[in-house]
Chain A
Amino acid sequence: MSTLVRDTRIVMARELRPVRRDPFSVIFGMVQPLVFLGLFGPLLVGSLGGQAGVLGGSVWQWFVPAILVMTALFGTSATGANLLFEFQTGAHERMLVTPLSRPALLIGRALKEMVPLAGQAVIIVLVMTPFGFRPHPGGALIGLALLAVFGIGLGSLSYALAIAVRKQDWMFWAVQQTLIFPLMLLSGMLLPLETGPSWMRVAARFDPLAYVVDAERALFAGEWSADVAWGWVAALTTAAVGLAVGIRAMVRSAE
């Protein structure tokens, strides 16, 4: 057990070193969410801003927590590409010949996902505050923790996907793109599902992302509702499943 903790720390420290050496790489991971925030946000304000009943008090209050989840979605679901690259160069193979524990190779990488994610979330919150976004401080902190746990799960799944398709690497982006857009739209992240047909609301019940989005909205508003609990269930389940699948894949990644 102590070896696992030690090895996990080594892998995580290694993964974080390029981020520490070049902190601007964190900003690049935010490009897509910022585009949605800057170009989609105003449209949302224009079309739904008047309907206070649908979005609650302020459009930003509704939209910014969802954008944080989007940052997690885009960032961590793409992280498998880094591992895929290390498969191609030989860096991963070098690690497999060392005494590092195989599970640590995955857990260390997955835990590392929290760090850029937290950085990105803090930047977005700070940037949006002058525009009238008012996060509840305690709720926001718990919201970030929830996001971190979800990011670990999603990151693990992304690594598992990378390992599964390592011999046909083009498949990685095909699968990743095919999965994230339905997950994103069904989560009610961009537009409220209340205005959509009922089958979409049914489908959304099977989208873990929807629970995370609802929980983040509640937390950033300082509402302690059942949505928060369901969000944690979704995030913890994603993390548990992700780690289990990811570790299994990692142990077999040498073949």
Chain B
Amino acid sequence: MIHTRALTKDFTVGRGEAVHAVRGVSIDIEPGELVAVLGPNGAGKTTLMRMLTTLISPTSGEATVAGHDIATHPARVRRRIGYVGQGNGAGHTQRVHDELYTQGEIYGLDRRAARTRADELIEALDLGALRERKVSDLSGGQRRRLDVALGLVHAPPLLFLDEPSTGLDPQNRANLWEHILRLRERHGMTVVLTTHYLDEADTMAERVVIVDHGRVIADDTAEALKTKLAGDRLTVGSPDVRTLSRLAEALPGARDLASSGERLELRVSDAPTAAAELLFAARDAGVPVTAVQSHRPTLDDVFLTLTGRSLREESSEVSK
């Protein structure tokens, strides 16, 4: 569905100073996949998506999207993709039904078909009570659902969502996702989304592409990324941390040991087994253990392992 080869975008800012927003990205996405592109703000996610949706042309490299080359046949690509951008797609002075009707006309539906399609989507995305409402009078969550509806008018085989749930409260986010996943199931759509919400990429996507400084630095299922790149974390409390860390070092796959006060933290490949082993070893050595806690890694741990930086901190800094 998407094939890119060495896709690159440079921007010139100020006096000939080049910003390498996307550097040589090569990815392949097959029909039916649900892929999250994850990365900190400024990583190049949006630039990548703007190239794939034909909004901007790449500096170099190539890409085929929905069967057509983005550089030579942008019009054919546009016909086959749906796009929900970061902003609000619906015009603020327009009414909900009018905007969906116009979108239908744009994709070549006749009057009746455009009207029927608008009604279907209003139904599917729970916008029934808002049919004749002006877009500027809608709440953030309602607008976002309308944006998704606009992206789906022509039942595209491929849907792009650029930070679909940014700015929504948890309830609205869950609600939006429910709609997206149901529609995807019904139409067998391929979905590509960008996000900086770790949990969203983790729970919703079947495949996570991590982008940093314009490059793809990891690409796999969330589970595989976490197991391969981060590993479990174990936190153990003890008044004798020093002896405990000596014992912990002997555990299989143990690394990144760090102690503070009466607490020892380390990474292991399999936390529950390692915890049991460590408890036995501690009892044999006469070291008292006050608490044991194991954590499955998050995608933030994966990002931390890959870059030495925390994604959570970077995102929250920007949102301040």
Q: How many angstroms from the CA of A10 to the CA of B85 in the assembled complex?
A: 22
Q: How many angstroms from the CA of A13 to the CA of B81 in the assembled complex?
A: 24
- Give which listed residue, B50, B56, B92, B107, contacts A91 with CB less than 8 A: B92
Q: Is the CB of B81 within 8 A of A99?
A: no
Quote the shortest CB–CB distance from B8 to chain A (angstroms): 16
- Give which listed residue, A13, A21, A95, A99, contacts B107 with CB less than 8 A: A99
Asked whether any CB of chain A lies closer than 8 Å to the CB of B78, the reply is yes
- Give which listed residue, B54, B88, B102, B107, contacts A90 with CB less than 8 A: B88
Asked whether any CB of chain B lies closer than 8 Å to the CB of A93, the reply is yes
Interface centre among B56, B90, B92, B106 (most CB of A within 10 A): B106
Taking CB atoms and an 8 Å cut-off, the chain B residues in 74-131 that contact chain A are: 75, 78-79, 81, 83, 85-95, 98, 102-103, 105-107
> Chain A's interface: helix, strand, loop or mixed, by majority?
helix
Q: Is the CB of A17 within 8 A of B85?
A: no
Instruction: Identify the closest chain B residue to A254 (Cβ).
Output: B55
Q: Is the CB of B54 within 8 A of A99?
A: no
Q: Is the CB of A99 within 8 A of B106?
A: yes
Asked whether any CB of chain B lies closer than 8 Å to the CB of A97, the reply is yes
Contacts A10-B102, A18-B93, A89-B92: A99 and B87 contacting too (C-beta < 8 A)? no
Return the CB mask of B169-200 against A: 1 if under 8 Å, else 0: 00000000000000000000000000000000
Contacts A17-B98, A18-B94, A255-B56: A98 and B106 contacting too (C-beta < 8 A)? yes
Quote the shortest CB–CB distance from A55 to chain B (angstroms): 41
Quote the shortest CB–CB distance from A28 to chain B (angstroms): 13
Instruction: Identify the closest chain B residue to A255 (Cβ).
Output: B56
Asked whether any CB of chain A lies closer than 8 Å to the CB of B53, the reply is yes
Q: Is the CB of B95 within 8 A of A91?
A: no
Taking CB atoms and an 8 Å cut-off, the chain A residues in 72-116 that contact chain B are: 82, 85-86, 88-91, 93-100
Q: How many angstroms from the CA of A97 to the CA of B86 in the assembled complex?
A: 13
Q: How many angstroms from the CA of A125 to the CA of B54 in the assembled complex?
A: 48
Q: Is the CB of B91 within 8 A of A86?
A: yes
Asked whether any CB of chain A lies closer than 8 Å to the CB of B152, the reply is no
Task: Count A/B pairs, Cβ under 8 Å.
Answer: 71
Quote the shortest CB–CB distance from A84 to chain B (angstroms): 12
Q: How many angstroms from the CA of A13 to the CA of B150 in the assembled complex?
A: 17
- Give which listed residue, A14, A17, A90, A99, contacts B75 with CB less than 8 A: A99
What residues of chain B lie closer than 8 Å to A90, measured between beta carbons? 85-89
Q: Is the CB of A85 within 8 A of B106?
A: no
Return the CB mask of A10-31 against B: 1 if under 8 Å, else 0: 1001100110010000000000
Contacts A17-B98, A99-B79: A89 and B107 contacting too (C-beta < 8 A)? no
Q: Is the CB of B94 within 8 A of A93?
A: no
Taking CB atoms and an 8 Å cut-off, the chain A residues in 30-89 that contact chain B are: 82, 85-86, 88-89
Q: Is the CB of A93 within 8 A of B87?
A: yes
Return the CB mask of A122-136 against B: 1 if under 8 Å, else 0: 000000000000000
Q: How many angstroms from the CA of A7 to the CA of B103 in the assembled complex?
A: 11
- Give which listed residue, A21, A91, A99, A254, contacts B91 with CB less than 8 A: A91
- Give which listed residue, A85, A88, A97, contacts B53 with CB less than 8 A: A97
Interface centre among B78, B88, B93, B102 (most CB of A within 10 A): B93
- Give which listed residue, A82, A85, A94, contacts B83 with CB less than 8 A: A94
Contacts A17-B98, A18-B93: A97 and B87 contacting too (C-beta < 8 A)? no
Contacts A10-B102, A17-B98: A97 and B81 contacting too (C-beta < 8 A)? yes
What residues of chain B lie closer than 8 Å to A98, measured between beta carbons? 78, 103, 106-107
Given contacts A17-B94, A18-B94, A255-B56, 6 further A-B contacts (CB under 8 A): A14-B102, A89-B87, A89-B92, A91-B88, A95-B106, A97-B83
Chain B contacts to A: CB under 8 angstroms: 50, 53-56, 75, 78-79, 81, 83, 85-95, 98, 102-103, 105-107, 147, 150
- Which 6 pairs between the two chains have the least Cβ-Cβ distance? A90-B87, A94-B89, A97-B83, A18-B93, A91-B91, A14-B102
Chain A contacts to B: CB under 8 angstroms: 7, 10, 13-14, 17-18, 21, 82, 85-86, 88-91, 93-100, 254-255
